[in-house]
Amino acid sequence: MHDEAALQEMRTRVVLHADRVAHPSSMEFPGNFPGEDLSWNLEEFKKNFRIVVGFIGKDDMEFDMIGVDAAIANAFRRILIGEVPTMAIEKVFVLNNTSIMHDEILAQRLGLIPIKADPRLFTFRRGANDDPTDLNTLVFKLRVQCTKNPDALPSAVHPADKYINSNVLSSHLQWDPQGEQVERFANDPCRPVIDDILITKMRPGQEIDVELHCQKGIGKEHAKWSPVATASYRLLPDIQILKPITGESAKRFQKCFPPGVVAVKPNAAGQLEATIANPRKDTVSREVLRHAEFEDKVRLTRVRDHFIFSIESTGILPPQELFGEAAKILINKCNVVKAALHASGALVAPQEI
């Protein structure tokens, strides 16, 4: 029989040992431990659930999601990567391409350029029989011809000095508004997110003339529609010093962790003593467990229901808006499952209880 302390550790911590990791997985039912009430309580969930925003940048953010199971955190990660829609180049109509890059490779490279266009203002195009309109398609033109630079110095050796348009960049894409798109996007014209993405290189006499159609899609179909460069999470490290670590030993202990994790300061007796300053910076390398002098003096754990979430947007939508869209998609999924359970009679509707 487990004592209460061991059960509490199993409930709340993933413990890292020198040769193994204890309690790494969730139970079959999250929170399934001996003597527990397994009934789900909304008020209890509200009391324990929190989101604490660390920082929000132009294209990235970090926040803490506290009080949920790993399955929920992973659902948000997967939805962000594969189910939040964006606009991306899907059709490439090649009118002329005399560059060294084959049409197929050129089309693939063009498709991976992030397009700054709010996908919420567009509809999905449903198959080949759904004609392109200003509500489901964006059109770009790419017309670039490489020529010699008449003003280049005779001693010039760099292609950018000798030639004009030797590098074909994403900035060469020109938006061709259709229908009412001029009015709809008057304050934020559609364009590539980044202007200096290299598409290909050309030399005098070579030319590219293509028309590009952008459509709405999701990352599950192709990575070019994924709105994030990365979406990841990690458990909050929790480092417990079990016995005082003082003197030169404290300095050696500090070197076992990344900078900023451990602080070494004089204690009340005037001795240098190691304390945990910022466990968030720890990479959980377990380096400290390799040293015999720290055996039984430190315990490395991770908080099971505390996730440090990181989102890096491709720039199409701000990261905080991407998380909001992911939450809406997850809510819709839950509503679909709930409706199916009601229809099958497996779940009693609230008004029937």
- Tens digit of each residue's pLDDT, the chain (353 residues): 456 777 777 778 898 888 888 877 765 455 556 566 667 788 888 898 999 999 999 999 999 999 998 889 999 999 999 999 999 999 999 999 999 999 999 999 999 999 999 999 999 998 888 899 999 999 999 999 999 999 999 999 999 999 999 999 999 999 999 999 999 999 999 999 999 999 999 999 999 999 999 999 999 999 999 999 999 999 999 999 999 999 999 999 999 999 999 999 999 888 999 999 999 999 989 999 999 999 899 999 999 999 999 999 999 999 999 999 999 999 999 999 999 988 887 666 554 43
Q: Are residues 32 and 68 in the same domain?
A: yes
Q: Where are the alpha helices (DSSP H) in 58-200?
A: 70-82, 103-111, 159-162, 181-184
Q: Are residues 97 and 216 in the same domain?
A: yes
Q: Does residue 196 fall inside a structural domain?
A: yes
Tally of domains in the chain: 2
Q: Are residues 214 and 123 in the same domain?
A: yes
Predicted confidence at residue 351, as pLDDT, reads 46
Q: Are residues 145 and 210 in the same domain?
A: yes
Q: Are residues 58 and 91 in the same domain?
A: no
Q: Are residues 90 and 78 in the same domain?
A: no
Per-residue tokens: 314: 């491709």
State how far the Cα of 128 lies from the Cα of 27, in Å rounded to an integer. Answer: 46
Q: Are residues 77 and 135 in the same domain?
A: no
Q: Does residue 259 fall inside a structural domain?
A: no
pTM: 0.87
Asked whether 237 and 299 are in contact (CB, 8 A), the reply is no
Per-residue tokens: 40: 């789900």
Q: Does residue 321 fall inside a structural domain?
A: no
Q: Are residues 123 and 195 in the same domain?
A: yes
Q: Are residues 204 and 115 in the same domain?
A: yes
Q: Does residue 95 fall inside a structural domain?
A: yes
Per-residue tokens: 325: 């869209």
Predicted confidence at residue 6, as pLDDT, reads 72
State how far the Cα of 266 lies from the Cα of 246, in Å rounded to an integer. Answer: 9
Q: Are residues 236 and 217 in the same domain?
A: no
Predicted confidence at residue 45, as pLDDT, reads 86
Q: Does residue 339 fall inside a structural domain?
A: no
Predicted confidence at residue 352, as pLDDT, reads 43
Q: Which of 289, 245, 237 is nearest to 263 (CA)?
A: 245
Domain that holds residue 40: 1-82+231-243+296-310
Predicted confidence at residue 278, as pLDDT, reads 95
Q: Give the CATH number of the domain where residue 133 resides.
A: 2.170.120.12
Distance between alpha carbon 63 and the CA centroid of its chain, in Å?
A: 12
DSSP helix/strand/coil, 209: strand
Q: Are residues 30 and 64 in the same domain?
A: yes
